[in-house]
Amino acid sequence: MLFNRLQDQFVAYQSVSVIFCCLYNQVSTDTKKVLVQSSFCLSFCEEIQIVEKMALKGLTVLEFAGLAPAPFCGMIMADFGARVIRIDRPQPQYSIDTLGRGKESICVDMKKPSGTQIIKRLCETSDVLIEPFRTGVMEKYGLGPESLLSVNPRLIYTRLSGFGQNGSLAKRVGHDINFLAISGLLSTLGRANERPHAPINLLGDFAGGSLLSLIGILLALRYRSQTGHGQVVDNNMTAGAAYLGSWIWKSQELPLVWGKSKGENLLDGGAAYYDTYETSDGKYMAVGALEPLFYSNLLKVLELDENDYPQFGGDQEYIRKALKGKFLNQTQKYWIDKFENIDTCCTPVLSLQEAALDSHNKTNKSFMIDSDGNSVPSPSPLLSKSPAITSAREDPVIGQHTHKILKEIDFTEEKIKELISTQAVMQNSPLNSKL
């Protein structure tokens, strides 16, 4: 009950603040000086002014619900001002998607003809569509690029798949580890004399998938601004991960960097001076002393003689053993203090919780508090003229905005009731809200 009252008060105060801001922009300078006595109201005014300047303001994005890659792509666009409408399929009210910040949700059964018609109506006035399915799925429901671009020739139709639209693997299921495997990158990851090791699903899903899809969308929007024409952005995580690894392919002839087996090279764990080391309290320090000056400084702090531990040409396992022994003798805090203001490229390995509390990260506002009261990364990069929204906005529940969105595309109340009764659409409301 207390939460409900607080939520109601917050929503009411937001409404009052919006009115305040509208009035604020119409009054004299002297009157403004009186109004701004309330800094809390002013913060809402500032946020509204930020919204007006956001880089992607005015764009409408349709994001078909999926797992991590498409939701992250959509969340970035929402953070920077786009209106993102997530098209959910009928299922339990709450989804496992944790990247819905700032989005709206319409729940549509696209297996029903009336459902596909709704999606086509949405496409008429949308700028971008993001679909995360295997090849042929959208075409199966009459929602392929040819169909939807005929409805709206300005549409940016984004395909974010695992293996692409063509080839023997196009219809195969897969996850980040599989996309990395086929891209060639997985073969380079892992320690020496061990099997390839896939990192957390960042390279394929988020970098090769989400971010490269977003780049494609922005490029297509630029082209549309010049020609008036939309197009298909076809990105798959296998090709995206490979492209992300272009430097690995193109740097194979660099001296000292490559030339040995996996896990024995400069940047893949082979160099003792580019590794992590445990401290006496079970924490870790990250060492990246690649340059000779930084390596010399590292050994000075550790009280090791560089003549005994030469950076190049020396036995790396011998050096690693010495570094391991030194770091293990003291706590992480001790080493943080010892390396402070000394150029060694040596930093503490922070946990997720520690990173949010770190003074450097606080100074740069690298983290913010989300709608659940948890610390999460702030939108990045920082734009000086058209910044992202960094306030806490809730993830939608599935179908939370169905009725509202249908009204916007000119469905009557009678038709909406019919669509709900036939389960072509679903309208849900968030818990703790008053209907």
What is the DSSP track for 94-117?
Answer: S-S----TT-EEEEE-TTSHHHHH
Within 13 Å and on the Cβ side, how many CA atoms surround 311? 16
* Residue 290 banded pLDDT, cuts 50, 70, 90: very high
- pLDDT at residue number 92: 67
- pLDDT at residue number 15: 41
- pLDDT at residue number 409: 96
CA angle 158/222/377 to nearest 5° reads: 65
Q: d(Cα 349, Cα 277) in Å, to the nearest integer?
A: 9
The pTM score is: 0.86
Q: d(Cα 416, Cα 197) in Å, to the nearest integer?
A: 51
Q: What is the pLDDT of residues 323-356, one digit of tens each?
A: 999 999 999 999 999 999 999 999 999 999 999 9
User: What is the distance of C-alpha 379 from the center of its chain?
Assistant: 8
Which range has the worst mean pLDDT, 9-23, 50-64, 374-388?
9-23
End-to-end CA distance of the chain: 15
Query: Taking Cα atoms as reference points, which of 60, 105, 111, 65 lies closest to residue 427?
Result: 105
- pLDDT at residue number 392: 66
Indicate the SS3 state at residue 148: helix
Q: d(Cα 287, Cα 348) in Å, to the nearest integer?
A: 9
Q: How far is CA 27 from CA 16, 18, 34, 296, in A?
A: 17, 15, 11, 64
User: Catalytic: 205?
Assistant: yes
Q: d(Cα 210, Cα 69) in Å, to the nearest integer?
A: 5
Check 97, 205, 268, 395 and give the catalytic one: 205
The mean pLDDT value of the chain amounts to 88
Indicate the SS3 state at residue 130: strand
pLDDT at 408 over 90: yes
E-strand stretches of 58-207: 60-64, 83-88, 104-108, 128-131, 156-161
- DSSP per residue, 305-359: -TTTS-SSSS-HHHHHHHHHHHHTTS-HHHHHHHHTTS-S-EEE---HHHHHH-H
Q: d(Cα 25, Cα 22) in Å, to the nearest integer?
A: 6
Q: d(Cα 67, Cα 69) in Å, to the nearest integer?
A: 6
Could you tell me which residue, 395 or 227, shows the higher pLDDT?
A: 227
Q: d(Cα 5, Cα 432) in Å, to the nearest integer?
A: 10
- pLDDT at residue number 203: 94
User: What is the distance of C-alpha 415 from the center of its chain?
Assistant: 37
Domains and CATH numbers, the chain: 60-246+395-426 (3.40.50.10540), 274-349 (3.30.1540.10)
Contact assessment for residue 106 and residue 85, using Cβ atoms and an 8 Å cutoff:
yes
Which of the 8 DSSP states describes residue 190? S
- pLDDT at residue number 429: 78
Q: Where are the alpha helices (DSSP H) in 144-235?
A: 145-151, 176-183, 212-227
What stretch of H or E contains 292? Answer: helix 292-302
